[in-house]
Amino acid sequence: MPRTYAVLSARCRFLSRHIQWHQAVPKSLLHMSCRSCSPLRSPQFRVDVQHGPPQGFRPRITPLMPMDRTCRRLHTQKILVAPLMFTGLLIGLWIWKSIMMVVFQNKIIYMPGLPPNARSERVMDWLSRCGGIQWSEERTKATDGTDLAMAVATVPLPKGNRQVAAGAGKTVVAHVYVLYFQGNASSIPPRLPDLSWVLRAISDSKQYALAPMELTFVCLSYRGYWTSRGRASEPGIRLDAEAGVNWILQHHERTFGKDSTTRPILLVWGQSIGSGVATNLAAAGRIPEKLPIQGVILETPFLSIRSMLETLYPQKWLPYKYLWPFLRNHLDSYANLSLIAQKAKEKGKEAPSIYILQAERDELVPKEQTERLYRRCTELGLPVEKGVASVAFHQEAIARGPGKKLASEAILKLAKRALDTSQG
């Protein structure tokens, strides 16, 4: 019997060490080391003593493990592996695209590098297609120091005398300036031939007697576009637009003198996303009191960036239209119209006239958005007029004859109305 108890004592000591080992081993290794042990609790044991042969008895150690506590492995049916992997890949791609859209939205909205040679274009390479309109490249700086490029041209208005207009300021009633904001791609030089056609139509028109006057057309290149420095963003482009207005005022004072009686008439023209830049400037821009905006031309405008997300990507399974809370660029012309009307009412002045130029076959901006902008102007009491360029797509509003004619007539109408208002 002493020997029997000695064996039992040794087995118990071994059992104790076995339990301590299970408690010390991590749960992940416990599955590999002992399939019959639960990773949550140490097993319980029962010691039975059987009397054996005459030389003694042999203890038998039996673990007590309930059947429902044994470890089981999860097995996936092979037929489900491919669908699960494909679904996970789609979810991962959806999340990745959403993150990329938010992080790189400036590069997606503003594309100064398209086409690849857009930033190396030169004005002189396009002058032969401008029908005699002489364009010159000018430079200015935004308030944050960003260097900006501009293309500038001056033409006489109907029955105007260029020499008189450039001479003594006393003989000139007013001078018209048009500040042009381009779309989201390409640069200024390729746009000069179409704009030159508009300027020739303005100069040759005999519809309005505006003599002796001239018109100076200023095409502003946003930061990051053409030869302008910096990177494009809505806050930065706001500063660029204000810099364009300040340059026009300085140019007017250099030409006619600070104390001249020649009145500057400022019109702004925005194409596509440039329409949002134009309404931003008219609504909340820091504009000198001497140079108020008296007319706004919106070529193929849209309501806002958010509305364009919903228009271009209406599919529910795409992430784009759900990302509007993360937008850093809004270009919300619909909201800006309210600010323009409110600003004019607070200052007790007449609001600028709005002219909307719509492309009949616009494949990007639905005509419903243009109509909503027109109705919004009428609701707010803003003087508004709309023209439709027939047989024109989004980028062709002034590329065809009807659109060019509408644009030139719009500038003449806005200039005549601003001149009559200032004289009255």
Residue 220 Cα to chain centre, angstroms:
19
d(CA 121, CA 187): 8
Q: With 50 as the cut, is the pLDDT of residue 29 above it? A: no
Percentage of the chain lying above the pLDDT 90 cut: 63
Q: pLDDT-based confidence at 9, cuts 50/70/90?
A: low
Q: pLDDT-based confidence at 159, cuts 50/70/90?
A: low
pLDDT at 393: 96
The pLDDT tens digits for 211-242 are: 778 999 999 999 999 999 999 999 999 999 99
Q: With 80 as the cut, is the pLDDT of residue 298 above it? A: yes
pLDDT at 274: 97
Q: pLDDT-based confidence at 38, cuts 50/70/90?
A: very low
pLDDT at 319: 75
Mean pLDDT, residues 187-205 taken together? 95
CB count in 10 Å sphere of residue 147:
14
pLDDT at 51: 45
Give the gyration radius of the chain's Cα atoms: 38
Q: Which of 142, 209, 390, 422 is nearest to 295 (CA)?
A: 422
pLDDT at 422: 75
Mean pLDDT, residues 154-159 taken together? 81
The pLDDT tens digits for 108-133 are: 999 999 999 999 999 999 999 999 99
pLDDT at 390: 94
Q: Which two tokens stand for residue 167?
A: 């001479």
pLDDT at 83: 85
The pLDDT tens digits for 238-264 are: 999 999 999 999 999 999 998 888 999
Q: With 50 as the cut, is the pLDDT of residue 165 above it? A: no
pLDDT at 72: 55
What topology does CATH give the domain 107-423? Answer: Rossmann fold (3.40.50)
Q: Which residue has the higher pLDDT, 321 or 103?
A: 103
With contact defined as beta carbons under 8 Å apart, do 136 and 188 qualify?
Answer: no
With contact defined as beta carbons under 8 Å apart, do 256 and 285 qualify?
Answer: no
Average pLDDT, the chain: 84
pLDDT at 322: 84
Q: pLDDT-based confidence at 28, cuts 50/70/90?
A: very low
Q: Which residue has the higher pLDDT, 12 or 51?
A: 12
pLDDT at 208: 78
395 DSSP 8-state letter: G
CB count in 10 Å sphere of residue 335:
16
Percentage of the chain lying above the pLDDT 70 cut: 79
Q: pLDDT-based confidence at 17, cuts 50/70/90?
A: low
- Contacts for 310-318: CB closer than 8 Å, 24+ residues apart: 311/365, 311/366, 311/369, 312/364
Q: Which two tokens stand for residue 395?
A: 């980028």
Boundaries of every domain in the chain: 2-69, 107-423
